[in-house]
Amino acid sequence: MSNYNFSVKGQDLLIRKLKQKAQKGAVKAIVKSHTANMESKAQELAPVDTGNLKRGISSQLLKGGMAGAVISSAEYSGYQEFGTRFMAAQPYMGPAWRKERPLFLSDLHNLVR
């Protein structure tokens, strides 16, 4: 299973400002939207042979909608993402995250302005 974790510098300040504005509903909408977008991008980028990897990519909301996760349930998803010594990597989750991350952060930044 391929998982990506990240941290944002200044996240304490961001959380404080979000709480001050009491816009949890707006944050949840942003998280939901970008989680779904990342799921779609990962499915588009996933290499397709049998289609199992692509079908196994799903998203879920966590922490009451304040966090999202995109996962692949295919047993070999990590091998596809990172490769092995005998097989070249065919990344799909990392590139999807790198495309969606700036849009996600931009939307959060616009919310706290």
Q: What is the pLDDT of residues 42-98, one digit of tens each?
A: 999 999 999 999 999 999 999 888 899 999 999 999 999 999 999 999 999 999 999
Q: Quick one: pLDDT band at residue 20, thresholds 50, 70, 90?
A: low
For the full predicted model, state whether its pTM sits above 0.85: no
Q: If you write DSSP's letter for every residue of 22-84 in order, what string do you get?
A: T-HHHHHHHHHHHHHHHHHHHHHHS--SSSHHHHTEEEEEEGGGTEEEEEE--TTHHHHHH--
Q: What is the CA 19 to chain-centroid distance, rounded?
A: 23
How far is the C-alpha of 75 from the C-alpha of 30, rounded, in Å? 30
Structure tokens at 22: 């009491």
pLDDT at 64: 86
Q: How far apart are the first and last CA of the chain?
A: 37
Spell out the residues 6+ positions from residue 95 whose beta carbon is closer than 8 angstroms to its own.
Answer: 41, 45
* Residue (of 106, 83, 85, 109) closest to 37 by Cα position: 106
Structure tokens at 16: 């404080």
Q: Quick one: pLDDT band at residue 105, thresholds 50, 70, 90?
A: very high
